[in-house]
Amino acid sequence: MKKAGTLNNERGSVKSVLVLLILACMVYVGIKLGIPYYKYSAFKSEAKAIARISSASQHIRTLTQVYERAQEMNIPLEEEDINITTTSKGVRIETGWTETVDFFGIYQYTFDFTVDVEG
């Protein structure tokens, strides 16, 4: 009887380790997927705020502000990638970038993000 109980505990510990390993992998993948989406959401919010406070005559200043925010957030954008136009409602900011996420060095997934805000 004691031997059967010992084997049951060993299986239980192996099962617990496997469950913890699977949970750790899920957390890792969640973080790897969540960071690019968080940066996208935060940058889009910042771009919208910049578009709201910008005036139609300040294209260069608006471009500089958007580019600086992108650099602060480690978003792979160049100034040429940012398009600023004046509309009847105000200033429109359009840009986009791709970001590749590497999972354990085995699988890579590329995200395409586009921001099109008007303020």
Q: What band does 10 get if pLDDT is binned at 50, 70 and 90? A: low
Minimum mean pLDDT range among 27-31, 50-54, 71-75, 86-90: 86-90
Range of the domain at 113: 2-118
Domain count, the chain: 1
Q: Is the pLDDT of residue 66 over 60?
A: yes
116: left (phi over 0), alpha (psi -120 to 50) or beta: beta
Task: Report the predicted TM-score, pTM, of the whole model to 2 decimal places.
Answer: 0.78
With tokens 């354990």, the residue in question is 104
pLDDT number for residue 6:
46
